[in-house]
Each structure stands twice: as C-alpha cells, then as structure tokens.
Structure 1
Amino acid sequence: MSVRALIADDEPLLRGGLARMLAQAWPDLQIIAEARNGREAVAAFEQLRPEVCFLDVQMPGINGIEAARQIGQRAHLVFVTAFSEYAVQAFDRGALDYLVKPVELARLQDTVARLRDRLQHSTPILDRTALLDELEARLRPGYSRPYLRWLNASLGGTVQVIDCQRIDYLRSDEKYTRVVWRRADGGIEQSLVRMALKELLAQLDPDVFVQVHRSAAVNRHAIDRIERHDNETATVHLRASDETLPMSRSFIGQFRQM
C-alpha cells in the first residue's frame, strides 16, 4: 500500500530533518507536500489528500491545532511540538499521535509502527474535537496542570508503566533520569525515563518529591532519616534499602527543622 504524507512546519531545517528521518523510519512513505504554516497545510491537504499529516503545533497564522480541525477525520495526524511530553501525553490514545522536538528516531519509529498498523487494518479515524479542545487548553498560558500519576519508562526492551507513588528516588543519567521504584511485591526495580531530572521534577508533586542534590531527588515517604555532616551536607537514608543519597548544602535548607 502506497502511503502519502504532508509535513507542515515554519522552520525549513526542521521540515527537512523530519523528512530525512522519515525516509529512514518509513522508506516507502511518499512525502508529497511541505507547508510553512497551517494555511498552506490545509490548502495542500485539500488538493492532494495525503493519508498522513505531520503538523507543527505552533505555526504563524493558522496553527497546527486549527489546521487539524479543518482536516478533521480525513487523515491520520501526528503533532510535532516543542512543548514538554506532559502537554500532549493525553493524546497518545490512538486518535492522535505526537512527536516532541527534537525528534528522536526511536520515538518516530514507534509512531510509524502505529500509523502503519492503523492504515493496514483500516482503523476508523475517531472524532478528535474533544481532544483538540483539551490540547488547546493545556497549551494555553496559565493552564493549571495536575501532577503526574504515571510514568512510562524503559525496562529492557519493554515500556514499564510506573505508579509515581511507588517511586523511591530519581537520579540523573546523562540527559535522561533513572527511576528507582518498588513493585507490588516489595521488590526494587530501576527504569530509565527519557526526560531530564529537572523537567521530570517539574511535573511531580513537590509535596511528595524533593530535590536533595543537583543529580538526585527523593520521595519524602521513602526517607528513613537524614544524617547531617559538619560541612553542611547530609546523607539521605532510605527505608526500603541500604542505599543512600547525597544531600548538598544547596538543598539542606528545606530540612532545617530536623
């Protein structure tokens, strides 16, 4: 089956980069049009009717969300966005998909696999109106977002869904974050989240998770005790294991009452 696609982004380098990555991830996909904004994207769609549209969320004039409204249920849509994964995670439900800039090949390959499966099985395209309304609200300045309850993390060759309440602590692992969490049977697991510690902490409840070092954060419920040192640093001892975490002087102030 020959599949045709449209790419819309106001930055030529990003359009070209996505096209090259798609050539690698989906060699038989035909990119039949590129657009600089939502208006051009809608016009190209009406003329050429591609099966798949990759739409940047923020474009001048008509943005990606409005373009998606006009395209409706006539094509499979993928949003490409510079917003954090939190902003669009609610749309990874089958009706819409998304890629976070900078686009990673592994994530693109996952998206391509889903698209090919839907096209192969002629999966009906659902009405996206409510999802687009929610996306627009989430991206609006001043939106008050709930804290994360679940994390998707790499565990070997699978994706592990983690209840945030079961996380004991988090540590930076280059540009990602290593999450240490407890299974229902009490066993300890470690998984890798494709997000920097700073970005992940901003999405977790600050009443539960507290940063203790530039490279570490801990669930308050997982702390057994904190041992102060003469140099104004400390060591965090955990309840469920013999592991400890360093606490630097920059963060010790939040435990002054101890």
Structure 2
Amino acid sequence: MKTRPSGTAAQNDGGKPTALIAEDEPPIAAALQRELAKAWPALQIVATVVNGLDAIERIKALQPDVAFLDISMPGATGLDVARACAKLATPPQIVFVTAYDQYALDAFDAAAIDYLLKPVDPARLARTVDRLRELLARAHVPPDAAADTHVHADLQRLLGQLEQITRNVQTENRSQDTSRSAPLRYLRASSGNDIRIVPVDEVLYFEAADKYVVVTTRTGEVLIRTSLKELCAQLDPARFWQVHRGTVVNVDQVESASVSALGKMSLKLRGHSGVVAVSKQYAHLFRQM
C-alpha cells in the first residue's frame, strides 16, 4: 500500500489494502464488491458511492489504495474524479469500469492503470487484482520524487487516452445519427472480456434491463449498454415489434402465438425453447396467427 502519514483516515485494522467503489448502478456495484471479496479477500471496501462528486470527497477523506470508477456518473464523471485524484499527494490506483468496449481495449492495455468492462468478468478481475497487488507492493519501498512523478505521469497519460476515447464515442454517435435512415445491421456486445459482433437478423428478441438491453439469440444472451428506446430508433420497425413495455421481438423469428386459459398471450420463437409474453396492449398484432 502507499506510504501515508501516521494517523490518517487510510489506517485500518491489520493494515489491509483499501478500496472505494464509485458506480451509479447499485446492482453492478454490489456484483463488483462480491467478486472482489472472492478474488481479493484481504481488500477492505471503505466506501461505495453513486455520485462522482461524492467519490472525490470520500477519496480525499479516506485515502483508499484503489478507486474503482464508473466512467459515466452523475455529479462528476469518472474522468473528473481521476483528474481530482491526480492532484493528490498520494493518489489511489485507478481502475475504470467502462462500457466503452470498442476503444478501451487498445487504450487501457497500453496504460499502467487497469480497466474492467461491464459486466465484470471474474477471470478478468483476477488479472486486475494481480496487477493491483503488484503495484501496491511496490509502494512499500521508501517514497522518492522520481517514483511519485512516474505515478502522476501514468495517471495524466491515462486521462489523455480516456478523453480521446470520449471524443471517438461522440464522433461515432454523431455518425450514427446522420445515417439513422439505414436500419441497424450489427450489434457490438460485451461477452466477458470479449467483444461480440451480433447480426441483427439473428436476434430473437430484446429485453430492457435497467441501463442495458439483454439480446437473446439461439446461442444465448449478451448485454449492450443502451436503452430499449434508443435501440428501437435504430431498428427496422417492419421487422421488430414491441410486444411488452420492455420487450421487442424479431417478427421474422415468431413461429406461433398462443393464448392461455387465463387469456394471456405468448409467442413461440423458432429454435428457442422459451416463450415471450405479449401484453394486452399489443395482443392485436398476433390475433390472426
């Protein structure tokens, strides 16, 4: 762990390494904390916050060894929090929790500080923990100006890379807006530590899940970070029909529709063992099936 003045807030029972989690989605924060407990039992989570401004204040007060930062948060972004950390005398090791998958792989692998893709993969987290343990072990040696300069330089370099990532994402979003007339053909989805390309034609149905959408195909499920409303604006409305408040089906994949004794409608999809419920609001779409 980093060398700190005696009596500071970072002191804890047994000299355990400490960490703060800044994540505005409680289920993701809770999942990360559970996985950290398995991968790094000695790690003490001293705070979990949902707001970037709170993260800055708590990092200053508690001086954790590690800060796990979501890039997109209310109040202040993960980038803003990292900039504030860079000004501290003893900044924490930064691990970004990011959904910017298509750019993060190249940018972060070249940096000294690590990243995790959402949803967090346990095997990837284990490698992150190994790297953090090594970095914290080095901090046991007596501090010197050259080492401090190196740590701050790494953090500043990472911030520059993240700013470029953000600009690239914004540019891509603008490009998608200008070509919105053409329906979406492919999806980029996180699957563990990999980026999966899913042809839209292979999708059976989409289902809203907080800030994510679950994409179901015949081979399984993947997550994409977007709202169902934003996704539907990019799909062909002639092929993708909303059948429930949080569900959109690929009508080309619908094999049959059936109604239960209680009057509830469900859809059977080709090559899929499950069924998809249809709300009364949309049942009329399938009355002739």
Which of 130, 137, 144 is equivalent to 1:113? 130
- Relative to its length, the structure with more helix (as a share) is 2
Identical counterparts, % of pairs? 42
Residue equivalent to 1:7: 21
Q: Does 1:97 align with 2:107?
A: no
Question: In the TM superposition, what whole-angstrom CA distance separates every residue of 1:1-42 from its partner, at most 9, and x where no partner exists?
Answer: 510000000111111110001000100000000111110100
3-state secondary structure, aligned to 2:171: coil
Q: State how 1:127-142 maps to structure 2 within 5 Å.
A: 127=153, 128-140=155-167, 141-142=170-171
What's the CA shift for 1:197?
A: 3.7
Q: Residues 178-219 of structure 1: CA distance to partner in whole angstroms, max 9, x if unpaired?
A: xxxxxxxxxxxxxxx8332449xxxxxxxxxxxxxxx9xxxx
Q: Residue 18 of structure 1 contacts residue 103 of structure 1 at CA under 8 Å; is this kept in 2?
A: yes
Structure with a larger share of its residues in strand: 1
Give the aligned CA root-mean-square deviation in angstroms: 2.5
Instruction: State the AA in 2 paired with 1:138.
Output: I
Q: Deviations over 1:201-251 (max 9, x none)?
A: xxxxxxxxxxxxxx9xxxxxxxxxxxxxxxxxxxxxxxxxxxxxxxxxxxx
Range with bigger deviation, 109-118 or 81-90: 81-90
Structure 1 stretches lacking a partner, 5+ long = 145-174, 177-192, 200-214, 216-258
Opposite residue 194 of structure 1, the aligned amino acid is D
Cross-structure match for 1:66: 80
Aligned partners of 1:87 and 1:139 also within 8 Å: no
Mapped partners of 1:79, 1:85: distance in 2: 15
Write the letter of the residue equivalent to 1:34. T
Aligned to 2:187: none
Query: What is aligned with 2:50?
Result: 36
Once the two structures are superposed, residues 50-69 of structure 1 have per-residue CA deviations (whole angstroms, 9 ceiling, x without a partner) of: 01000000001210001000
Query: Is the alpha carbon distance of 1:198 and 1:139 closer, same or farther for their aligned partners in structure 2, counting shifts above 3 Å?
Result: farther
What is the alpha-carbon distance in structure 2 between the residues aligned to residue 139 and residue 198 of structure 1? Answer: 24
State the 1:88 CA deviation. 4.8
- Alignment pair present for 1:82 and 2:99: yes
- Provide the rounded CA distance (Å) in 1 between the counterparts of 2:98 and 2:55: 16
Aligned position for 2:68: 54
Aligned letter for 2:194?
A: R
Number of equivalences? 154
Higher relative contact order structure (alpha carbons within 8 Å, sequence separation ≥ 6): 2
Q: What is the letter of the counterpart of residue 157 of structure 2? A: A
Report if aligned partners of 1:37, 1:61 keep a CA contact under 8 Å in 2. Answer: yes
Match for residue 195 of structure 2?
A: 195
Tell me if the contact between 2:101 and 2:195 (Cα under 8 Å) persists in the aligned partners.
no
Secondary structure in structure 2 of the residue aligned to 1:139: helix
Q: Higher mean Cα deviation, 19-28 or 131-140?
A: 131-140
User: Could you tell me how far apart the structure 2 residues matched to 1:52 and 1:46 are?
Assistant: 12
Distance 2:72 2:162 in 1: 12
1:49 deviates by: 0.4
